[in-house]
Amino acid sequence: MSWNYPDEFRDQVTFEIQVSVDGGDLQTLDRKKDMQYIYGSPDEGVTYQFYVTALSDDHSSLRSDPASVTIEIPEAVEDPVDDPDAPDDEDPNDIPDPTDNIGNGDGSNGDGDPSNGNGDSDTDSGDNDTDNGDSPPSSDGDGDNDTNVDDEETTE
């Protein structure tokens, strides 16, 4: 800590530095001409109140009112213990491979709506044609449920 004192009187005084730990009795730490003091080993979870008093070098009974400052040293926050069995967190800088999630595997467009995503509930283009070119015909129309138009039932 450091403090100021008027330049014109600085060579006539010595500074007394005292401390009270957690509200206890005052302890004198030092008397010195310098206007700074370093408290070497503060403890965690402790409150320190420091006092600085100017003492006259010429008249031992002359003292200033003390200036004070209170400093609380917080308890140390312990780092969480790493569990070697816990899964590693993914690196937030990892960029996912866009080819890893092509489609969603359930035939829908992935938005939770079972429709095809174009506003109607058909799975084709939205019209009611029997053949829009998206899928093969289910029959060639000759009654035998095949798609071969060159079989013996074909008439010319």
Query: Greater confidence, 31 or 154?
Result: 31
Residue range 134-144, pLDDT digits in tens: 555 555 565 65
What local confidence, expressed as pLDDT, does residue 77 receive?
80
Q: Is the pLDDT of residue 156 over 70?
A: no
Closest to 74 in 3D by CA, of 107, 43, 116 = 43
Using DSSP's 3-state secondary structure scheme, residue 79 falls into coil
Which helix (H) or strand (E) covers residue 124, if one does? none
Task: Give mean pLDDT, residues 41-66.
Answer: 95
In the chain, the percentage of residues whose pLDDT exceeds 90 is 46
Query: Greater confidence, 10 or 123?
Result: 10
In angstroms, how far is CA 62 from the centroid of its own chain?
55
For the whole model, what pTM was predicted? 0.50
Using DSSP's 3-state secondary structure scheme, residue 70 falls into strand
User: Which domains are assigned to the chain?
Assistant: 7-73 (2.60.40)
